[in-house]
Chain A
Amino acid sequence: MAKAAILSYIKRDSFVHELTGTTKLIFFILWSVASMITYDTRVLVCMLFMSVVIFKISKIKIKDISVVLGLAAIFLIMNNLFVYLFSPEYGVGLYGSRTVVLTIAGPYTITLQQLFYHLNMTMKVICVVPVALLFIACTDPSEFAASLANIGVSYRIGYSVSLALRYIPDVQREYHNISQAQQARGIDLSGKDKLFTRMKNSVAILLPLVLSSLNRIETISNAMELRGFGKNKKRTWYRLRRMTGKDWFVVVFVAAVLVIDLLVTFWDGSRYYNPFL
């Protein structure tokens, strides 16, 4: 059966893969904070450059994650579009000057300031996306729960993430089987029928799928309890890896990035770098 996974662990041999899950999680969090806080173009350009370098190091190919990248791009375009529609003069207010490039209609003019604001906003997102995707694509799912617990998240939450990962392939296979059997009973799910009929028909697959998933949940929760899950406040992890020199280096690096980011951004008392002065 063809694999339908949109985004999952991709096993490669790279520096990013060698880092522990905890390191990657910390990196991801601090990196996101850093890019969220700043609107300083100089900082963003540097971070964008680093993002691309990290992506290269990870040996993950663009085509491995093309679907998600596509979705992210669509989201980004929509975001830009709506920001412009609702406040086309936001950049003007921010940067305190107004240089009109083009007048469209009514209140909608394109100003240099607004364009610059959009550029910064886009860069912020582009800084984070590769790092977020790498965190998922380069972290062994087995380490997911352990690394979440390691930074203080309750292991129950971490484990539910892990269980979901465990069951996604099973449920996909089951969906496939059920849908074939239902098609044999004349329930068509291909494009031939009307949308409403198709929606009604997909219920014929979802009901058995939900019921059998409920059964699964009962079995797994029994199995987990019988083996002592939830007994203690803490638990240890078979697949947790210890932080090595490399990991500390990366953590210190990302912390430094955040500090420099804060310093540069707030040096002149504003989050925005203003080239229009």
Chain B
Amino acid sequence: MEKIFGRSKGLTDVPFSFCPGCTHGIIMRLIAEVLEELDIIEDTIGVSPVGCAGFSQDFFSCDFVGAAHGRAQAVGTGIKRSLPDKIVFTYQGDGDIAAIGTQHAIHTAARGEKITSIMVNNAIFGMTGGQMAPTTLEGMKTSTSPYGRNIGTNGYPIDLPKLVANLEGAVYVASVSVDSPKNINQAKKAIKKAFQVQQAGLGFAFVSVLSTCPTNWGLTPSDSMKWLRENMMPVYELGELKVAEEVKSL
């Protein structure tokens, strides 16, 4: 029988260890497919963060470096500056890149560092058990905002892709979601472009992917998707937020 679907070569045979309904698996698969389609698996070095996204180092079939919490983009910068001909990407959660690693998120973009960063935004700290993240929505209950995120005391959620899009060195910034087949296709297109931008050496490319955390949200996988659509999408605008002139011709 003809095999028409299988594991991407960009992934190892290590089974995903994520909770049921978690979208990390979908997002990693999309990246793996992009690495395979662009034929860059052997030229790519990934950087994993701390948190659930950190398991990426086991699942991708390319070389990987594990960074300290928040530092993936600084580590990626060091790798890229040392090996400018290689492809470097970071795979980070929202807690990692938009809180403890914010300074690197801003300056990696400002320098126009020729790497690709993927942020997986589920509006919560997953690995540590569901604490408030910089992306947690107003009123959203977490273990450190048990009465709901109070803007008066906790401030506002950060829309990192919008922030990064303001910086000259960021030439491609997209905000996508993986809640539906249509959006998954859009997400893959954006991820692919973010790697092509790097291949062409045009500057920093950033893709934010809206994601779920059924375990810490306390919802079923299908309710989580619904919650993402109804609550996160109105706050975190989807689409290509920035496509610099030089990227348009790719």
A and B found bound together: no
Using a CB–CB distance below 8 Å, which chain B residues touch chain A? none
